[in-house]
Every structure is written in structure tokens, then in C-alpha cells.
Structure 1
Amino acid sequence: MNKSLSILLLAFCSFLLQAAQPEADPNRLKAHLAFLADDLLEGRDTGSTGHEIASLYIASHFAQLGLKPAGDKGSYLQRVRFRQSYLLQDSPKLTLITASGKQSLDYPRQYLTSASAVRELSQVRGDLVFAGYGMVAPELNHDDYANLDVSGKVVVVLSGKPASFPSEEGAHFASSSEKSRHAAQRGAIGMITISTPTAEKVKPYQSRLNHLHTPTVRWLDNQDQPANIYPGLQNSAYFSQQAAELLFAGAPRSLEQIYADLEKDLVPAGFILPASIEFSKRSEHKTISSPNVAAILEGADPELKHEYVVYTAHSDHIGLAKTVKKDRINNGAMDNASGTAVLLETARLLSQLPVRPNRSILFLAVTGEEKGLLGADYYAQNPTVPVTSLVANVNLDMPILTYEFADLIAFGANHSSLQQAVSDAVQKLGMTLSADPWPEQALFTRSDHYMFVKQGIPAVFLVPGLTSMDPKVDGGKKFAEFLHSDYHQPSDELSDAFNWQAARRFTEANLQIGLTIANDKIRPTWNQGDFFGETFAK
């Protein structure tokens, strides 16, 4: 074919793609959300009948759009098996042994523990070693285990991280999974995390009692072993400040002195504590299953169609409330029926384009987000397409659709070339891309997209910006109102508070972002020297 003619045809196809984009339909968005947040589904808890119904609803719409199944055995469903572990509430027994004798601590008044996903009877007896924050971060020249021998010991670590640590990187290093990994690698047999003044401000010990009966949930691998678990850590607990003081009685430094270091953002060095513990508990295990739902719109380019832009939205919620007498159903309308509705409408719009995008699009409704990003983690570690072919993830989780916004926030965009792609995309719709307004909350590490980041895949987490098109409306206040009054409450249900033009606008922004990434000749890349790219990219 004549080269100039080829260029002309490509330009014409690009013009068609831009000019003929269908508009999002607010009525369809409302209909999806109304079904997914209906009382019939009883809050779509992972493993529940309600979530199964939601998953079949999503799969049915993927089929109606003619999308290719991307689940198991030619289906749209990727079945994930989970282990639910329940702590027998009368079983925890913890005795502190010091030079003064033995002292039994009171569960749950003085300490908390959760069910073990590995063993039904958990027992540990060992000497205690204080290990600062229990963090190892060579990139930040930090190693709390330097000059400490914790092999065969129970480590005592502070909750959280140093205040001077970068927010997002610090959230990674301070995660319970990272702290457990480093303790287990060094031979520790148990872990006690102690509360701090900062932790009490963020989440008081008393508020943690609300989760006493919440089961531990982990996905199971092909050998029926729970994932992301360190069996060498035979037991763990979380101590209140008052109980933690007992651990430091007669120690080289008191807990008061440790806390004084934290006030100055000093990192206290570890040392041997003159105490040991005997700690046991019992757990009951139950196996459940719950599906991810996956579908593919194949790309048009002969080469690029083997690469995938992944849209994710979690379809699960938290099910039935145990303490509310009247309305017990946590419908999860905003969290995350809204994101799932946007995913479905985006799939419809993309499937109806006269010219398909160059790269393929993978639509993924994941389960188990509320249990710890489990469905996304399972898919990212067990993808139904080669993991190296996943070029980017666009995640939709709890967009607050109560006002017409003028800007968009893409958490994590600043780590990769996706920042430019998202900015270019939303500008076509008359929007701007705003910076993360809450960097201290490290939201980039707190939703499903982060499981793809941990596989080295650049990702963004999209939400409406805080600038309203109506100057009389404060977008930040709207966010705060939802979080204060409705987040994880039965009141998160379909209501007149939803702004369906905002839903339309958010969907069209989501569509444009996916198209921009899918049609870019260059695969998204991590920024040079970026921590997440350096840490996780293969």
C-alpha cells in the first residue's frame, strides 16, 4: 500500500474514533447501580449468594456486549477459593513472665489477636525482643533488625512508621505483611505490635474492638495453602498502650522514653526485653469460594492487541451489619456499586466504537477487596493472560458521585508516564488533572490497583476531583460527608444524593483515559528512579 495512503487511512480512523465516541447513558448507570445495591443482594459479601448474583449479572452484560470470556475454562468467572478463619473468642490465653513472676493479660481489654489462617491451635512461648518499628527499608537507610538476633524469639514492634518517611513508600514498608515478612525471615516465632500515641489518634484501641468477630480471609493456592502467610510466626497480638507498658518494666528503656523518641521523630534502637510470654489461641477454618469476573475487548492492531489495559472495580461489599437492629444491609451503593456500574458502561461504550482501540482492554470485576484486596491479588498472581502483557491498570473504587466535578484525581499517576496520559485524556473533556489532595493517607497503596503495582504494572486509581462545576458546592465537603456518615454503613444506598450527570462525566473520563493508553504507540513506563518501579518492575 502507498505509504501516504496508509498514513491518511490511519488519520481517518483516528478521526472516526474521536468523533464517533458514544456518550455515557445516565439511565444505564443508574440501572446498574440500582441492581447491584438492591437489598436482594444483602451487601454482596465475599462468598455470599448476593455476591454470586452480582457476579452473574456482570458476566451477563459482558456476554451481551460480545466480549471474550477471560475467566476459567472459557467462562467469564475466575473462581477463587478462600479460607475463612474464625477466632474462638474464649480461647486466647496470654501470660507475661518477668522477674516479678507471671501475669495473665486480659483479652480483649489489654490485647487483641485474630484467627490463624494456618493452624487451628496456635501456641508460642519465647523471650521478647524489642525491634523498633520492625521495618527494613534499605532505600531509606533504615534497618530495625541491625545488630539484633531475633531467631527463636517473639519480636515486639511499634505500629506505624517514622513520621519523616515518605507517605506512600512508608506505607509499603510499614504494612503488616512487610513487617511479618522481615520478622519471619530472621527466625522470629511470634510478633507483638504495640500501639503508639499516633496510632491512638488515627484509630483508637477501643475502636478496634468493633472487629472482634471479623474472620480472617486469605485466598488459597493450588496446594490449599493460604497465600501471603508466614507460618514461622506462630502467633501475633496487638497490645494497648497500657499493656505495652508491662513489656518494658525493668527494661533498659521505658515505654515512656520510647514514646518520647517518637515525638521527636527519632527511631529507637532495639534491645532485649527482660520478659517472655506464653500465648495460645484456637481458630476454626471454613473454605468458601467467590469469583472474579473477567472479559476482553480484543484490540485492532495486529501486534498491540497482545497487550492489555486492565480496568478494575471491586464488586464485593461488607454484607450484613451485626449491630444494627433496623436496616442491617450494607448495600454498598457508592462503595463500590458505583465503580462497577462505571466499569460496565465503559465496556458498553468501548464495544460500540466504530474502530476498536489498538491494544486489548481487559475488564475485571474483582471480589474480596473489602477482605484485603484479595481478588485483585489473586488475579495479579494468577492472570488469565500473560502478566507481562498487562501494560497498565485503571482502577475504579468508590467514586463519590454526588456533585458535578471539574477535575479528576488519579492516585499514583505521578509515579509513571500514566500522568501525562491521564492529563491528556481529561483535557479533551474540559477537565484538569489535580494532584493527590491527601498524600499523607497513601491512598495509592490502599485499593485493588496496588496488587498490580506489586507485579510491576503502572496503575492509577481514579476518583472525581474536589473542584465542583458549581462554585456553591464544596467537593471536599461532599467527600467528607460521605466518609463520615455513609462509608461502610447501611446508609450507603441508592438515594437522591446521586448526581447522574456526574456519573456520566466520570464514565466518559474513564473511557477517554483507557482509549488514550490503549492507542499510545509507547507502552506505559515507570518514571526513572521511581521507588515502586524499581521495587516491583520485572
Structure 2
Amino acid sequence: MKLRLMTAGAACALVLGLTNAHAQTKKYGEGVDQAMQAASGDDMKAAITYLADDKLLGRAPGSPGFQMAADFVIDKLKSYGVQPAGENGGWTQAVRLRRTFAGKAGSASLIVNGKADSLKYNTDIFIYPDPVHKDVSSSGELAFVGYGITDKQMGRDDYAGMNVKGKIVVIVRGAPTSFPSSNASHNMDFNTIQKNAAAHGAIGVILATGDSTARGTLANPGRRGTYSIMDDKGQPVVSRTYFGGVQMLAAVGYKTLRTLASAAGKDASQLLPSLKEGKIVSFPTTSKISAAADFNYVDVAGFNIVGKIEGSDKKLKNEYVVHSAHLDHLGVGTPVQGDSIYNGAHDNASGVSSLLQIAKVYHNLKVKPKRSIIIVAVTGEELGTLGSGYFASHPTIPVKSMVADVNTDMPTIIAPLLSVTALGAEHSSLAKVVDEASAYMGLTVEADPEPEQNRFVRSDQYSFVVQGIPALHIKYGARTPDGKNNLNDLVKVWREKYYHKPQDDINGMFDFDAGRKYAQLNFLIGYIIANTTERPTWNKGDIFEKN
């Protein structure tokens, strides 16, 4: 290409790593390229260093360390001209967390062919803690309904031809191998499973282990507790395990499933392979169960941080694009190699630092986008995406005014950023926005390289999706500078050593320039949405279209 003089904006675009052709074929508004230059890898490093410092003790919700992290974030947002958008004109939104534990009592009896056998509590069966009722009991006839999925888009209904009204359904948690990863993840979500069971008239749900090679003793979440968000009347408004439409959510091992299947004339060893192949394997039984448990709980005062950047259009400024990231991590826990502070440098100090850089870019933007921007740092993600669940369903702005969420969670900035995966974008018009923004920055977009990780439902964007708000989460792609395009191999090594371990601190693996580029991309995605007159829309017939 013949060299020629360029505008200042085009020159800045080149610094961003864009090709000259990109810079000249697309212009997002006066000063956008220059404003994006404000994003700084050094700033990201400084923020991560502070948020992941030992003195913050892992930023557990409700802890002094979380408060220190919140004070830091609010101070930074103030310096970038962000305005408070929390409750009562402040920066925060109260989140009332309840941690519920299994009590000492618990019993269960399985009646098969008229014979009652006791199930050893917390070994053969456990009942998920109930944040409302300190004592829970349920009994009824059992029916096996495969994966418990009703998905019109995928043409599957495990309840077809089954009458489960007043019964307790037994389900193997999973999805056929043919399901796209986000469809599978959504249908495996505890709330989706319970909501669908209740819609078909079931009074309880038992999740059964379908793998004959799985360990016989169940993992027991009751010991460490499950979390919910309660309203001021003591009722749960967000929970990833509790659903008021059923009396009980429980789990049993393969041995119990085998007993039930055998009594119904079925071979338990064939159930899981058939389900994975996509076959419908549902059947009634004459077996019954009776179970009871008690629980206790403690309440924790948590909060989200909410800020606003007002849009420039008289009408559209009353609509919002949300940029979210979770501020919490795991606190202090089981020592690993002599260290018990789970600093969460990557997870998710890096995501919060990206959020701050997005705010900084907007601060340097002379002409703000048409729509307003919400910056929200949520609590309780590690407890089951609870803080985002509360904000998405009970926002401090009108719920129907939120047009999209661009979430940032553990971008894994450990190598040059050359390609990305946009989790969830394929369900809506956001996919086109990601393609446009990525192309402008010289990045390629790839399909999720790790669908088995179910990452789509494991982070805060999912909270917005289930409220009917198109959302996405940008993760790394597989491209590498040497052309081997095997970044997933390095990520797996990183995950094994650092993920959810005390070793995830500032001394781990980092590429802060990649972090800068990641923040720029997320800004640009949000900026395009905020300047497009039409709201993002779900794809016609998509699984989330009616949410």
C-alpha cells in the first residue's frame, strides 16, 4: 500500500493495533480512537495489585477486605467522572445475603416394591439447604424424567407423555451432546430444572448421579452452606438452589438410581449413554421416597456498587448499557502450599480493573454515546452470581431500560490478545456488534473452545439473560503469535495452578498490554450498542427470546 498522510484519529487507530484500512473504513465518532488510548496496562496492573493484596483478605462479601476494595473502586469511578447510581442517590445497592447450612437432623427412606430401605443422610442422599424453612419434609411417588429438559428450540421434551403432578421427579443433570454449549448450560441450571419440574406439576426434584464410575459418597454442599439473597421480609429473591415452586431439592448417588431403574425394569447403565445420544428416556415408577432435614443460617450484609455515565441523546439517555464485573472472591480458606488467602488477582481483580479502564475511556470521550452507561461492580458471584442476579431483577434504574449487559469476568490476560470468544452473543444481535468491534481492532472471533466448562451460566451475564436482557462475556480465543493457535493448552496449565487457589495473586502470569486491549474491546462493544438506535434483539425462536 502506498503511504500517505493520515488524520490524527487514524494514527491513533494504528497505535491501537488496527490496520490502516480498518481506521479509514469505519469511524465511531469524534475522539473515540483518542479516548481509547487512555486505557492503560500500567493502570490495570496497579489496580490488580491493590485489589489482590493480602491485606484485603480475598474480598469475601461482607468482610472488611471487600469494603476496602469497594472504597478503592468508588474513588476511581469518582476520579473518572462517573456519577453514583445506587440506592438513595449513593454508590451502593444493599444485598442481603443468607448462608444456610445443613443441620444435624436428616433422614430419608426409599420404598421399592413395598419394602422400605433407609438412605444414609449426607452419604446416599442430601437435601439442599432451604433459606426459608428451618425444617423440610417431602414424600411422594417417584418418576424418572431423564435430563428434565423442555427446550422447544432443540425439539426436546423429557416430560412428553409423563404425568408427574404431585410426584417427585428424578433427573440426571446434563444435556445431549448435540446441544450447543449455552443451551446445555441453561438447561442444566438448578433454577431451570426446578422451574420446569414445577411447571409440570412436580412437588420435588432429586438429582441422580447417572455415571456408574462416579464416587459412591456424595459431595455435601450443606456443610459449607448455600447462599441466597433475601428481601427485607425474609423471603428469597435470588437463589441458585432454592425455588419456591418445589418442596425439596435433593441429590442421590448412582446406587439409588440403579435401584429405582431396576424396580421399573430398566438398566441403569444404559440411561446415561442413551441420554447423551439425545434419546428420551423417561418412565414412571411405583417407588416412593420420604425425606426430612433441618437447617440453620447466618445473614451477611453485602452490597453492589453502581455508577452512571449519562448519555447525550435526550430520549435514549433513559436507556442503559450495563458494564458489569464481580468484585468479590473467596476470602480466606483452606491453605494451599502454606497460603490461605485467596487473593483473586485474575478472578476477578483483573475484570474490575478492566471495568475501571472502560470508565476511564468514557471520561476521555468528549462526546458521550446516545445511551447512558451503567458501571456495576457486583458482590456474591462466587456464591452463585447472586449480586448480579439481584441487580438484574431489582436494578436501581427501571428494569426495562437496560438494553444489554457486557460482562467482564477473569479475562485470563496471560498472553497477547489476538482472538476472542463471545459467550452468549450468538443468541442475539450482539454477535454482529462483537464481530464489528473485533474486526476494527484486528481480532478474530471464535466459537467457545471449552463448551464442557459451561462458562455461559457460571458468570454474571447469565443473570441478565434470564431477565430477558441480551448479554455477553468476552473470553480469550486460541490464537497465538507463533501461529500454533493453542492458547487453550496454556490456559489449562494456568487454571490447574492458579484458578480458585491462593496462588492467584499479582505474582502469577500476566500480560497487562493484553488487559489494556481487552478493556478497549469491551468499551467499543458497549459504545456501539449505546450509539445504535435500535435496541439489541434476541434471535427469532431463540431459547432466551421469551425470558
TM-score, normalization: structure 2?
A: 0.88
2:41 maps to what in 1? 26
**What letter matches 2:381 in structure 1?**
E
Describe the superposition over 1:370-423 as per-residue Cα deviations: whole angstroms up to 9, x where unpaired: 111111111111111122221221110111111112122211222222222222
Q: Contact 1:187/1:232 (CA < 8 Å) preserved in 2?
A: no
* Structure 2 counterparts to residues 154-193 of structure 1, below 5 A: 154-193=168-207
- 1:292 aligned partner: 304
Within the candidate set 56, 60, 74, 1:41 is matched to: 56
- The within-5 A match list for 1:62-77 is 62-77=77-92
Corresponding residue number in structure 1 for 2:16? none
* Corresponding letter in the other structure for 2:275: L
1:329-359: per-residue Cα shift (whole Å, max 9, x none)?
1111111110001101211121122222222
Matched, 1:353 2:365: yes
2:529 to 491, 511, 517: 517
Q: 1:87 is matched with which residue: 86, 93, 102? A: 102
CA distance in 2, matches of 1:260, 1:345: 47
Deviation larger for 114-123 or 137-146? 137-146
**In the aligned structure 2, how far is the partner of 1:172 from the partner of 1:20?**
37
Q: Which moved more, 1:239-248 or 1:279-288?
A: 239-248
Q: Does the 8 Å CA contact 1:29/1:341 hold for their aligned counterparts?
A: yes
Distance in 2 of aligned mates of 1:21 and 1:453: 28
Q: Secondary structure at the match of 1:321?
A: strand
Note if 1:311 corresponds to 2:323.
Answer: yes
SS in 2 for 1:213: helix
Q: Which residue type is aligned with residue 74 of structure 2?
A: A
Query: CA–CA distance in 1 between the matches of 2:328 and 2:177?
Result: 33
The more displaced of 409-418 and 329-338 is 409-418
* Contact residue 417 and residue 526 of structure 1 kept, 8 A: yes
Relative to structure 1, the CA distance from residue 104 to residue 68 in structure 2 (aligned partners, 3 Å threshold; closer, same or farther) is: same
Q: How does 1:89-488 map to 2 (within 5 A)?
A: 90-99=104-113, 101-197=115-211, 204-205=214-215, 209=219, 211=221, 213-227=223-237, 229-259=242-272, 261-262=274-275, 264-272=277-285, 274-322=286-334, 324=336, 326-471=338-483, 474-488=486-500
Q: Which amino acid aligns with 1:376?
A: S
2:194–2:245 CA contact under 8 A, matched in 1: no
The alignment partner of 1:531 has SS state of coil
Q: In 2, are the aligned partners of 1:235 and 1:280 still within 8 Å (CA)? A: no
Q: CA deviation at 1:165?
A: 3.3
Distance change >3 Å, CA 50–CA 208, structure 1 → 2: farther
* Cα distance in 1 for residues equivalent to 2:111 and 2:175: 28
Give the partner amino acid of 1:78. Q
The letter for the 2-side match of 1:190 is G
Question: What is the identity, as a one-letter code, of the residue corresponding to 1:528?
Answer: K
Task: Name the residue aligned to 1:7.
Answer: none
Distance 2:335 2:218 in 1: 15
TM-aligned CA deviation for residue 270 of structure 1: 1.8
Percent identity, aligned pairs only, is 35
With over 3 angstroms needed to count, the CA separation of the structure-2 counterparts of 1:526 and 1:137, relative to structure 1, is: closer
| Structure-2 separation of matches of 1:20 and 1:323 | 43
State the partner residue of 1:6: none
Contact 1:373–1:447 (CA under 8 A) maintained in structure 2:
yes
Q: Matched residues in 2 for 1:227 and 1:85: separation?
A: 15
CA distance 1:241–1:517, shift in 2 (3 Å): same
Tell me which amino acid in the other structure corresponds to 1:56: D
**Residues 525-536 of structure 1 correspond to what in structure 2 (within 5 A)?**
525-532=537-544, 534-536=545-547
| C-alpha distance 353-470 of structure 1, shift in aligned 2 (>3 A) | farther
State the Cα deviation string for residues 251-279 of structure 1 (Å, max 9, x = none).
2324235346336542212212x322221
With over 3 angstroms needed to count, the CA separation of the structure-2 counterparts of 1:206 and 1:30, relative to structure 1, is farther
Maintained 8 Å contact 1:401/1:500: yes
How many Å apart are 1:293 and its aligned residue?
0.5
Closer/same/farther in 2, CA of residues 499 and 162 from structure 1, 3 Å limit: closer
Corresponding residue of 2:8: none
Aligned residue pairs total 519
TM-score, reference length from structure 1: 0.89
Q: Which runs of 5 or more residues in structure 1 are unaligned?
A: 1-10
Paired letter, 2:68? I
1:209–1:518 CA distance, 2 compared to 1 (3 A): same
CA distance in 2, matches of 1:37, 1:83: 25
Q: CA deviation at 1:170?
A: 3.1
Flag structure 2 segments of 5+ consecutive residues without an equivalent.
1-25
Distance 1:529 1:152 in 2: 31
In structure 1, distance between residues paired with 2:27 and 2:259: 74
* 2:400 aligned counterpart, secondary structure: helix
1:52 aligns with 2:67: yes
Partner of 2:89, secondary structure, is: coil
Matched, 1:17 2:32: yes
In structure 1, distance between residues paired with 2:275 and 2:433 = 40
Cα pair distance change 1:467/1:261, threshold 3 Å: closer
Is the 8 Å Cα contact of residues 345 and 507 (structure 1) preserved in structure 2?
Answer: yes
Whole-Å separation in 1 of the counterparts to 2:158 and 2:483: 49
Does the CA-based 8 Å contact 1:156-1:191 persist in structure 2? yes
Cα distance change, pair 341–20 in 1 and its aligned pair in 2 (3 A) = closer
Deviation at residue 159 of structure 1 after TM alignment: 2.0
* CA distance in 2: counterparts of 1:76 and 1:535, whole angstroms: 32
Q: Distance in 2 between matches of 1:327 and 1:386?
A: 44
Q: String of CA shifts for 1:88-129, please: whole Å, max 9, x gaps.
A: 2x4221122234633222233323333112211111222222
Do the aligned partners of 1:148 and 1:270 also contact (CA within 8 Å) in 2?
yes
Return the offset for 1:42.
Answer: 1.6
Counterpart residue type for residue 507 of structure 1: A
Deviation digits for residues 38-89 of structure 1 (CA, Å, limit 9, x no counterpart): 112221222322222222221222222221111111111011112210112x
